Amino acid sequence: MNPILNDIHPLRHWLPNGADFLKISGPCSAETPEQVEEMMQALTKVPGLHYVRFGVWKPRTRPNSFEGNGNPALEWLRDSARRTGLPQMVEVANHTHVEAALKAGIEALWIGARTTVNPFSVQNIADALKGIDVPIFVKNPISPDLPLWLGALERVHASGIRKLVAVHRGFTSYDAHPYRNAARWEIPLQLKGMIPELPVICDPSHIAGRRDLVPEVAQKALDFGMQGLMVESHPNPEFAWSDAAQQLNVRDLNAFWSGLEYASTTGPSAEFNDRLWALRKLIDSLDEDLLNVLARRMEYTREIGQHKADHNITLFQLERWNEILSTRTQRAEELGLDAEFVRTMWMDMHQRGLEIQARAVESARRVEPPVME
Ligand code: PEP
Ligand code: MN
């Protein structure tokens, strides 16, 4: 637990009607006054939405892409908010953005993934937030770096913000994975484990990168107990000026929200449940990691068996086995684990590995019987 961040306001203290789940939607970018108005009008038909998101300053990977309409777009937002009464939020990347957005009556702000990576920028924003009471959402940095995310949250918190929310939007990765950004669920779950009071929500759009994959990522976020979703939607997503592939059609939004299954938690108190939830989710996520690692280890074992078979080498090599057993048990002790427990686990794994290798040898040796006429 991080003692510095122990006084964050729970969602139920600041969302209308004591809600403890944040519903956010809106387009990647505010494109034209007409698109803003169409969007806002459409979202008045989505019940229970807390904020409409709009990108006004867009951090694009390459220059010469659409980089947002800036201050004029804030005017469109303000006019439309007056007509519809829906609260809006925008991304800020420096103190000038913060000042302009607040002046335009924007009700909440978020710090984007490319800004969270830079402590100078986060501090610049945090300084502009001193004495201001607006909800601030901090997206994870694009790199899978929990301390960097935590540091950004601490900087914002240190400027007095207590309506603080972390947004999980996935991480850049060159490893194969089905999404635009690797989800790495264990990272937001570890954050929640460290600061149980901190609301952690998910942005399934930037994880998925494709609109057909958004619902499954959103459902996973709910299964992991995340406390809200920020989902990109657009009146004509195919023609959106940014992130066209991942935005939902705003007309599909009600179906999207009602298609999700919301897990309920029950227990003697909210604090008990929060802590129990956070710890269980950490276990779930670690178990998933353990199983993946185990599967990869077995695959390498099989490859070694194949390699030995190819070169006619005995499967069991005492020297290697003794080395494994002594280094693993020694490391277990260093980590405060019971050495006997780890020894038994490795004996089981080794036994299983030998069986797998034996099968590899057997199939390498197997001579196909001649086909009888
Ligand atoms: C966005 O929300 O449109 C955006 C640019 O997000 P991120 O910072 O997560 O890439
Ligand atoms: Mn986007």
Ligand whose nearest atom lies closest to the CA of 61: 1
Does residue 123 register a pLDDT over 90?
yes
Q: What is the pLDDT of residues 2-32, one digit of tens each?
A: 556 889 999 999 999 999 999 999 999 999 9
- Packing angle between helix 71-84 and helix 33-43, nearest 10 degrees? 30
**Pocket of ligand 1 contains residue 113 by CB under 6 Å:** yes
In whole angstroms, give the CA distance from residue 236 to residue 156.
35
Average pLDDT estimate for 317-324: 89
Q: What is the pLDDT of residue 10?
A: 96
Structural domains of the chain ordered from first start: 3-258 (3.20.20.70), 270-365 (1.20.59.10)
pTM of the predicted protein model: 0.75
No. of helices (H) and no. of strands (E), the chain? 14, 9
Name the residue with the closest Cα to ligand 1, atom 3.
28
Atom 2, ligand 1: residue with shortest CA distance: 28
Distant-in-sequence, close-in-space partners of 55: CB < 8 Å, separation ≥ 6: 27, 28, 29, 30, 68, 90, 91, 242
- Tell me the average pLDDT across 49-64: 94
Minimum-distance ligand 1 atom for the alpha carbon of 53: 2
For residue 55, the ligand closest to its alpha carbon is: 1
Decide whether any atom of ligand 1 lies within 6 Å of the 211 Cβ. Answer: no
The two tokens of residue 54 are 């709009």
Among protein residues, the one with the nearest Cα to ligand 1's atom 1 is 28
> Which ligand 1 atom lies nearest to the CA of residue 242?
3
Query: Taking the alpha carbons of 258, 263, 218, 125 in that order, is the dihedral positive or negative?
Result: positive
Distance in Å, CA 61 to ligand 2 centroid: 12
How confident is the model over 235-270, as pLDDT tens digits? 999 999 999 999 999 999 999 999 999 876 555 678
Residues linked to residue 137 through DSSP beta bridges, in sequence order:
110, 165
The residue whose CA has the least distance to atom 4 of ligand 1 is: 112
- Alpha-carbon span 75 to 103, nearest angstrom: 10
Residue nearest to atom 9 of ligand 1 (CA): 113
